[in-house]
Every structure is written in structure tokens, then in C-alpha cells.
Structure 1
């Protein structure tokens, strides 16, 4: 999946928490969200806040779908809130290869 395809897919599935998202879709969208936030920050704090709020729900949704792709519930992204080690654990899950074939999430 290419950059623009991934961004288009994630924005089209704005609040879709069902299904699966592969590594390219997840990482391309996260890159887009980071770059959009950096560009918005150049234009001011309020613009950055608006962009961040607009991209928050699609980011949570694509993260849930990414975890579904490795056969984990989307709720596991909350592990990232555990101090010190939580973000390391979820980062490890995000880089895992997709599980071949169908799983309980599709």
C-alpha cells in the first residue's frame, strides 16, 4: 500500500474499528498524522490543536485495526499508557508481521 492510498483508506474509515490494517497502512497514516501536525504547528497552536483533534479518531481506529491484524483486541492499545514500558510493548506489537489467513477479527 502506498502513502496516499493508506491515508485515503484511513480517512475513509474514519471511525471504523472493525477489520484489519496491515503494517504499511498503519505506518503511512502515522507518518501523515505526524507531518500534518508538524505543518499545522508552523501556522499556530490553534491550527495544530484542530488538526490533532481531527486526526485523533482515525489514528485510534487504524491502531485498533492494526492490533486486529495481529489477532489482538483494539483495547490493547491502552497498554501504551502504562508508564515507562507500555509504549515499548505496543511498539513491539505494531511492528509484528500480519498474521496470515483469517483470524477472529476478519
Structure 2
């Protein structure tokens, strides 16, 4: 899938991954790829800056933890992030229904 389509929805995708529980960046990347059945195979250089932006915006919290014997930054959804996820999910669903209504009959 084109990065232009993902770019406008990356925050929604990352917040959704983190809604399953705290995770370090590499886990976020692999979960995104797995849950999208390989469609969203994003580079670290795309995901980490987005996570940092979500943290700067108060939607994600993070701290350093030992994970699998390594020190990693672990991200978790904040209360504001959970509210933002609910809002963006509702907006996405309305948009998706509208697009499907327009192109649904096309072969």
C-alpha cells in the first residue's frame, strides 16, 4: 500500500496497536505488519518519529524498561490517546463507509 495513504492514518494505526497494551517500538512495527497481513511493512524511520510525535502530543507515554534482556523504550496509550483513538476510529469508519458507497459498485 502506498505510503501516502498510510501517512494520513499512521497515528490511528499506531494508537490502535498500542491499545492492545504497552510495547517497544520494534514490537509496534511487527504487530502492525502482522495485523495488516504484510500490507503495512513500515521502516523504523517512519514509525519512531511518529511515536515521538504522539508522545509530544500527550497521546502516548513511554519509559525505559528491560525487555528480553535489552533496554528498550516502551510506549503505552495515555488516557488522551485512548480518547483520540476512539475519535479517529469513528471518523475513519464514517470515511470508509462513504468511500465504499462511492466505489463499491465498481469492478
Give the number of the structure whose residues are more often helix, by fraction: 1
What TM-score bracket applies, with the shorter chain setting the length?
Answer: under 0.3
TM-score by length of 1: 0.28
- Which one has the largest radius of gyration? 2
Give the number of the structure whose residues are more often strand, by fraction: 2
